[in-house]
A = this chain, B = another copy of it.
Amino acid sequence: MGMKAEIIAVGTELLLGQIANTNAQFLSQKLSEVGIDVFYHSAVGDNRNRIREVLQWARQRSDLLILTGGLGPTEDDLTKDVVAEMLGRPLVEHPPSLEKIATFFSQRGVAMTENNRKQALVVDGSHVFENRFGLAPGMAVQDPGRNVWYVLLPGPPKEMKPMVEMFVLPFLTSLLPSTQIIHSKVLHFYGIGESMLEDQITDLIRRQNNPTIAPLAGEREVKLRLTAKAASRQEAERLIQPLVDELYRRFGKYIYAEGENARLEQVLVDELRRRGETVTVAESCTGGRLSGTLTSVAGSSDVFPGGVVSYSLATKRDVLGIPQSLLEQYGTVSRQTAEAMAEHVQRLCRTTHSMAVTGVAGPNELEGKPVGLVWIAWRLGGKTHAREYRFAGDRRAIQVLAVKTAMFKLIQLLREKG
């Protein structure tokens, strides 16, 4: 028997469509991971009567109400007031929070207003959650008569998320009756479509129970989350392992990582660092996006010294040093040009390996080549590989696919090389 939870976002900006309610998604994921089922989401504006009505309805159908937003200093921030009133409890000052707010303002040499002081108020009897990235603390308070918990969290995701990970989930887990734990493992796939993958695991999905299999949406990637309930983490891992083995047996070459937040670029940088090798890139139609993706990884400078964005014919000639005759003979979108880009940039930047991308990202065709046609070349040591792709989608989708495919294939080639 678990808790029946619902997530209630407070804030008129949601109802005007100024922001998406990504908090509800984050909280749903996290709660489901610890075995708390979420039955409803709702959003309501900064209006005392409507917030009260939503809560009165919610407490009849759920036993854990998680509210986000409305904890700030302005008159529109009403969440605490309404909850305190419903529970018949006063708002009281929380000294550590007040001290933090006072310090914040004195360090900036700004006077603390009465409004800011309001952020340090909590519903009497609350369990208080520290806000490491903002001023308003979170809190959990129980209505003992109804056996309903209210959890109040700040609205800004950069404050709410760490608070949930650090303090709220451990607190909620401690309320759960059973000692069962939920453990899950995520496998990351590239190069196989979601529907193709799902088609080939219908048998596994049909007989799922413990562990369960859930496909997760990613941008042009597929992830599978395998989740087991058990008395211990080891026991859960033992339950999951046969399914992992079966998935590797069926799709091994498409699986590029295990883990919660794997990214192709991180896996590639790690693989190169492990080998003590380096890579450079020459990009045409991806226009810097491949370099930018690699350098989004902290510490990528160990394996990536930079590269060339050779977007025009002149740059391919003048910066990379590719003969104009080759570019004119084969065209800038061709196997020969991709291979030459990979070879020239590797020589220029003196790296172990290189990647080169040239293609038509659109919206218009180029040199008679259709939108979506992309040549990618990889140079591993002294050997060049090249392949033609036909990517579908708009300009951005084509660029993203080219970048991900270039990285994924380099990971594959490095692993094959051993």
Contact = CB atoms under 8 A, between A and B. Distances in A.
Contacts of A26: 17
A38 interface: yes
Contact of A39 (B45, B283, B306): B45
A287 interface: yes
Contacts of A287: 291-292, 294-296, 300, 304, 306
A25 B19 contact: yes
How many copies altogether?
A: 2
A232 to B, nearest CB: 24
A192 interface: no
Nearest to A223: B18
Interface stretch (A174-182, A233-241, A308-316): A308-316
A216 interface: yes
A311 B280 CA distance: 10
A25 to B, nearest CB: 4
Interface centre among A17, A28, A312, A362 (most CB of B within 10 A): A17
A150 to B, nearest CB: 18
A200 interface: no
B20 A25 contact: yes
A298 B399 CA distance: 12
Contact of A17 (B27, B293, B306): B27
Interface string A1-44: 00000000100011111111110111111111000011111111
A210 to B, nearest CB: 16
Interface string A273-315: 0000000010110111111111110101100111111111011
B305 A288 contact: no
Given A288-B295, A318-B349, A28 B42 contact: no
Interface string A212-248: 0010110000000000000000000000000000000
Contacts of A28: 14-17
Nearest to A285: B295
A157 to B, nearest CB: 11
7 contacts: A16-B214, A40-B50, A288-B292, A289-B292, A298-B363, A306-B312, A318-B350
The 7 closest A-B pairs by CB, nearest first: A287-B295, A288-B291, A17-B28, A17-B29, A288-B292, A306-B311, A305-B312
A326 interface: no
Contact of A16 (B32, B44, B54, B286): B32
A319 interface: yes
Interface of A: 9, 13-22, 24-32, 37-45, 50, 53-54, 57, 61, 214, 216-217, 281, 283-284, 286-296, 298, 300-301, 304-312, 314-315, 318-319, 348-350, 361-363, 395-396, 399
A289 to B, nearest CB: 4
Contact of A14 (B30, B41, B53, B306): B41
Given A19-B25, A40-B44, 12 more contacts: A14-B28, A15-B28, A16-B28, A16-B29, A19-B217, A20-B21, A53-B61, A283-B288, A287-B296, A288-B291, A295-B309, A306-B312
Nearest to A284: B306
A399 B54 CA distance: 42
A294 B203 CA distance: 46
A368 B314 CA distance: 38
Contacts of A44: 39-40
B24 A43 contact: yes
A361 B297 CA distance: 11
Interface centre among A15, A42, A53 (most CB of B within 10 A): A15
Contacts of A27: 17
Contact of A40 (B32, B42, B319): B42
